[in-house]
Amino acid sequence: ETAVFQTPNYHVTQVGNEVSFNCKQTLGHDTMYWYKQDSKKLLKIMFSYNNKQLIVNETVPRRFSPQSSDKAHLNLRIKSVEPEDSAVYLCASSSDWGALYEQYFGPGTRLTVL
């Protein structure tokens, strides 16, 4: 099956802890993204990578750091979570980083910070 896969589906943690989310795509795409979808369903880009190189880095707190081992994987680490980090984190990929390319989304990881 070719798709975008994310683990875990859900994660509950306490303020100050470190969390890591994994994303893998089997579509053979060159570009991957992380988005944050908050409780009001606002969807915002956080990072994008093309062939393991960071190409978009929006204004996100320093505690967020993306990690790419190869073009099929893009993980997200949050060093010390805060309550406002509670959200759904969506991973996506596209065949290239041009403006017209369709993005394919994973099912998301729901983070709850207590």
Instruction: Give Cα separations from 98 to 50, 94, 101, 108 (angstroms).
Output: 10, 9, 6, 23
Smallest gap, in angstroms, from Cβ of residue 96 to another protein?
A: 9
Smallest gap, in angstroms, from Cβ of residue 81 to another protein?
A: 23
Instruction: Give Cα separations from 13 to 90, 91, 114 (angstroms).
Output: 18, 20, 6
**Binding-site ranges for another protein (CB under 8 A):** 4, 33, 40-45, 48, 50, 55-56, 58, 90, 97-103, 105-108
Smallest gap, in angstroms, from Cβ of residue 71 to another protein?
A: 14
Give the residues across from 65 on adjacent strands.
Answer: 77
* Nearer Cβ to another protein (21/97): 97
